[in-house]
A = this chain, B = another copy of it.
């Protein structure tokens, strides 16, 4: 288990301000945040590149602050691969074994099984510069894994790749995590990536951890407007809430939304656009929220369509192109919106 307590460090442009975080062995933690949030510096401080001003990092209960990077046994993979350009792929992967004076026979054996796992056996004699982005990243992952690190730190490992390669490598990372069981800390700015890979998630901004928890929990229950905005909820309403029977009744400009989360006073209420069901006729269901409104805008985002409907307040529902055509939706058309009280998340201002 890695436990970080109240870590402070200031490198001018980037800083950490009291970061506390704990990661269980075998966890796949996703660290999300906008540019400049301090995500990379957190990884590099864990790896021992920077010495924190205060705070502590414990692994297995022992502080590692006085241990130099080379003895921490923490692997690092960067977005831009950072393969040594003057060494062949083979020598890049062998680098850590040589530094640790592993004898050649044992090294060859380890490399053989790892490169087979990562499908890069055919690249061993090439120079890194001649490889594609995806291939380079596989090699970089192999180079980090060969020394069997306790923790693998991944700094936006998929950001420099095209969509297709990104998807493949994402699956690859999941598989590696399943097979090796290595604890992974993976920095990204893509919410989708976090959702697809991790089991836990930490959201950072301005050098602080804003929210931390199970992925789906953060997704469904953002604890502040920043996180809600960040995870992509576009329906964020500000209103006054009253609690009755354990439900919140939130008045927003004359419209009332019901939420399953009790919270009184000034609140933000969020509904994910995909949670809103559109229909041509009223739907009879147990859903607490049902509104009638006119389509005010259709935002065509290619494969998904966002429909803005004015029901006193403007709400956005996400539907597929297929549904758009089937329901013959056009601006001005009257539609019914339905969503459950449990789909409405509420947090205090």
Contact = CB atoms under 8 A, between A and B. Distances in A.
Interface of A: 167, 191-192, 195-196, 232, 272-277, 299-304, 318-322
Nearest to A219: B302
Q: How many copies does the complex hold?
A: 2
A15 to B, nearest CB: 22
Nearest to A319: B320
A195 B300 contact: yes
Contacts of A196: 299-301
A320 B318 contact: yes
Interface centre among A232, A274, A318 (most CB of B within 10 A): A274
Contacts of A300: 192, 195-196
B301 A274 contact: no
A272 B324 CA distance: 14
A232 B318 contact: no
A274 B191 contact: no
For the complex, would chain A's binding face be called helix, strand, loop or mixed by DSSP majority?
mixed
B304 A303 contact: yes
Contact of A302 (B191, B277, B302, B319): B191
Nearest to A197: B300
A114 to B, nearest CB: 25
Contacts of A321: 272, 274-275
A260 to B, nearest CB: 16
B303 A318 contact: yes
A320 B192 contact: no
A44 B257 CA distance: 53
Given A232-B302, A303-B232, A304-B303, A320 B274 contact: yes
Nearest to A298: B196
Given A192-B301, A195-B302, 17 more contacts: A167-B299, A191-B302, A192-B302, A195-B300, A196-B300, A196-B301, A232-B302, A272-B303, A272-B321, A273-B303, A274-B303, A274-B304, A274-B321, A277-B322, A303-B318, A304-B304, A304-B320
Given A232-B302, A232-B303, A322 B274 contact: yes
Contacts of A272: 303, 321
- A-B pairs with the 4 shortest C-beta distances? A192-B302, A274-B321, A274-B320, A274-B322
A110 B104 CA distance: 76
**Most chain B CB inside 10 Å of its own CB: which residue of A273, A277, A302, A304:** A302
A323 to B, nearest CB: 9
Nearest to A339: B322
